[in-house]
Amino acid sequence: MNPLSTLHPARMARLSALAAALLASACGGSDTNTAEPPAPAPAPIPGNATTPAPAPQPGSPPVAPSPTSPSAPAPAPFPTPSPTPAPSPAPAPTSPAWTVVSVNTTLAPLPIASDLTPNPGRGYHRWRANPAAVPLGDSAPPLAAFQRYRWNELEGATPGQYTLSSLVAARDAARAAGQQFAFRLQAMRGYGTETLDVPTYLYGAGTARPECTAPNPACVWAAPMPTTVPPTPPTLVPNWNHPYVLARMQALLQAVAAALGDTSDLAWIDVGLYGQYGEWAQSSTNVVYTPAVQAQGIEAATNATKRSIAQMHFYVFPHAQHAMFIPYSNLDALQYGLFQQTTTTLPVGLRWDCLAQAGYMNQWTNRPADWALIADRWKTAPWVAEFCPFGPGSAQTNAATALQQVRDFHVSTVGNGNLNAPWASFSASEQADLAAVGREAGYRFALGPVSVTALSATTVQLQLRVDNTGNAPLYAPWQLQAQLRNASGQVMDQQVLLSAAQARGVLPGQPAQISTPWTPPSLPAGDYTVHLAWVRQPTLAALPQTLRWNMAGIEADGSARLVTLRR
């Protein structure tokens, strides 16, 4: 039934009139400025997607719809004025771009013939307490100080009674002078002096410990010298294989380590104690192990003993740079120390105690297979050397030979002492060669072509080449950083360009090519300078160090200032 058919005729007439009016309005038949709102949209059918109705315009609150007949069409709304759009927010201000405003044109590699740049781990080091053989002005200031100590200087007549103040004082004096300290311990020195260089508890009637007296073998014995006129006193030689001697050697090393405390800034430690002057060589002419001597339990040092002496150094100082002496007779111990032991954290280096003697290295180079074992050791660990004593005009041992050996065998540092004559007595050519030894030993870093360009408003591109113009690499843990510094010199940002491992890999003739983007942090507007600086990682707490570029135009702190950037 039609629901409208039940209405009163009068009401029916009124509804019909209203419907007609609404229809006219929908067809545009009304000129009123008030528009009726549209009828609400029908609810969506469950299960069907529908587009939501648009939200009301801001500033036009919704108006309740007028009731309409279910069969009447929905009236179209009168167009309402569009609201004035809100202004778009202003864009955030952009940071000023980096621009290169000036380039340092004073940087240039120093010629090796005049380069006196002081740097750690290279060149001449101070040799004991002696005056420098090559004076300053002809050599750079030494940045390492070496000293050697007799066993009985450090331990008295009672086992464990140590007097280590002189050694600690020498280390402290080196630190105060800006130098790293290096040392060696020795149990005997020269021949034919009957001088005891070990504590008296190891030797002597009434003073030797029971471990060193019958029925035990002696801890020290008197080796008779070859027959001479007049007779020469014997040489007092430790019984190297004696267990008690070896135990007391290790105790001495442990006492030294305890007295030094922080050993992170040591330049190196000679693996010493064995042989004349602790240099791992003993004359077979002056020390003869006859059957009668052997019958007393005294024999030449065995390979096992030599390994034991080396290992006690490594065990007590596992993180130090060690250097082992290179006489070929120590081949077994060298194989152990360089390739077999796993105690040390740094590769063990080599120690040359007779630089300048012609043919000294023939003991190795004439044995190619054995020489191949150590020929490239310089690429990972340093050669440390001291002169065989010589004076002016010597044909066999001389300055020219020393210089050539430094070049040929990639020696990093040489003791500036142990010559037989004062500097003034050498000829001009000999002086020139001696001075060149200090300039040429070790690494030398310079920059090849460098460019700094702006890639974008926030990023610059660094392109450079690092050359090693020396004869050996860098062995200590230094990294190369690009640093952005403000006007007061404060480092505002840095980027590592070469890690310590990468820096050690920059060998002579094998430059490092670097090309890297760098995005510094947002900084206040102003001028900033880009520096290339070598930074030791970790730093040495007790000994600040600087590694300088071997270049003209570097800064006081050793860095190379490349460009000024403006932001």
Residue 163 in domain: yes
Please give the average per-residue pLDDT across 17-45, as a whole number: 38
User: Does pTM surpass 0.85?
Assistant: no
d(CA 253, CA 490): 43
Q: Are residues 454 and 359 in the same domain?
A: no
Please report the pLDDT score of residue 7 as a whole number. 38
Reading the block at residue 289, the tokens are: 């192990």
Judge whether residue 12 has pLDDT over 50.
no
d(CA 176, CA 166): 15
pLDDT of 528 over the 70 cut: yes
Return the exposure string of 317-339: e unless at least 16 CB atoms fall within 10 Å of the residue's CB, then b.
Answer: beebbbbbbbbebbbebbbbbbe
Q: For 227, list phi and psi in degrees, rounded to 5.
A: -60, 125
302 and 330, same domain (yes or no): yes
Task: Kindly state whether residue 472 falls inside one of the protein's structural domains.
Answer: yes
pLDDT at 130: 79
Say what percent of the chain tops pLDDT 70. Answer: 83
Confidence of residue 78 (pLDDT cuts 50, 70, 90): very low
Closest residue by Cα to residue 496 from 472, 512, 474: 512
Q: Over 90: is that where the pLDDT of 228 sits?
A: no
Q: Which of the residue ranges 46-60, 434-448, 470-484 would you say has the lowest mean pLDDT? A: 46-60
Q: Please state which of the ranges 30-39, 157-166, 423-432, 499-508 shows the lowest mean pLDDT.
A: 30-39
**To 10 degrees, what angle do helices 243-260 and 303-316 make?**
20
Residues 403, 491, single domain; the answer is no
Last residue of a domain, one of 418, 440, 462: 440
The larger pLDDT score, comparing residue 177 to residue 54, is at 177
What is the domain-level CATH number for residue 557? Answer: 2.60.40
The DSSP annotation for 92-127 comes to PPPPPPPEEEEE----EEPPGGG-----TTSEEEEE
Band of residue 53 on the pLDDT scale cut at 50, 70, 90:
very low
Which residue in 125, 103, 194 sits closest to 565, CA to CA? Answer: 103
Is 489's pLDDT higher than 70? Answer: yes
Domain boundary residue among 419, 440, 461? 440
pLDDT of 127? 96
Mean pLDDT of 137-151: 96
Residue type, 157: A
- pLDDT above 60 (res 194): yes
pLDDT higher than threshold 70 for residue 44: no
Q: Which of 16, 42, 33 is nearest to 77 (CA)?
A: 33
CA distance 519 to 349: 40
pLDDT (average), residues 125-147: 93
Whether 457 and 385 share a structural domain: no
For the chain, first and last CA: distance in Å? 86
Residues 462 and 375 in one domain: no
Q: Residue 84: pLDDT band by 50, 70, 90 thresholds?
A: low
Of 470, 540, 536, 542, the closest CA to residue 507 belongs to: 470
pLDDT at 304: 98
pLDDT in tens, 403-436: 999 999 999 999 999 999 999 999 999 999 999 9
Give the bridge partners for 149, in sequence order. 185
Residue 190 has pLDDT above 80, yes or no: yes
The answer to whether 469 and 112 have CB atoms below 8 angstroms apart is yes
Residue 376 has pLDDT above 70, yes or no: yes
Which DSSP letter does residue 340 get?
A: I
Q: Within a domain: residue 292?
A: yes
- Domain co-membership, 419 together with 453: no
- Burial call 26-54: b when 16+ CB within 10 Å, e when fewer: eeeebeeeeebeeeeeeeeeeeeeeeeee
pLDDT of residue 519: 96
Token pair recorded at residue 345: 């954290």
Same domain, 457 and 435: no
Q: Can you spell out the DSSP letters for 399-453?
A: HHHHHHHHHHHT--EEES---SS-GGGS-HHHHHHHHHHHHHSS--EEEEEEEEE
Same domain? For 362 and 481 the reply is: no
Q: Range of 560's domain?
A: 99-108+445-566
Count of the separate structural domains present in the chain:
2
pLDDT of residue 237: 98
Q: Are residues 389 and 525 in the same domain?
A: no
494 and 375 housed in the same domain = no
Whether 138 maps to a domain, the answer reads yes
Question: Which one of 417, 440, 463 terminates a domain?
Answer: 440
Say whether both 345 and 424 belong to one domain. yes
Determine, yes or no, domain membership for 154: yes
C-beta of residue 477 within 8 angstroms of C-beta of residue 496 = no
More confident: 328 or 76: 328
DSSP secondary structure string for all residues of 505-562: T--TT-PEEEEEEE-PPP--SSEEEEEEEEEESSPPTT-------SEET--TTS-EEE
Contact 333, 324 (CB under 8 A): yes
Which pLDDT value is given to residue 49? 38
Amino acid identity of 303? N
Name residue 248's beta-bridge partners. Answer: none
Mean pLDDT rounded to a whole number for the chain: 88
90 within a domain of the structure (yes/no): no
Contact 97, 454 (CB under 8 A): yes
CA triplet 185, 190, 192: central angle to 5 degrees? Answer: 145
**Calpha distance 332→274 (Å, rounded):** 15
pLDDT digits (tens, 9 = 90+) for 310-330: 999 999 999 999 999 999 999
Rg (CA), the chain: 43
Q: Is the pLDDT at 477 greater than 80, yes or no?
A: yes
Q: Do residues 161 and 103 both lie within one domain?
A: no
CATH number where 327 lies: 3.20.20.80
3 — pLDDT class (breaks 50, 70, 90): very low
Q: Is residue 435 part of a domain?
A: yes
Mean pLDDT of 283-310: 98
Does residue 112 surpass a pLDDT of 50? yes
Asked if residue 372 belongs to a domain, the reply is yes
Question: How much of the chain exceeds pLDDT 90, in percent?
Answer: 80
Say which residue the tokens 């690429």 belong to: 379
CB–CB of 125/415 below 8 Å?
Answer: yes
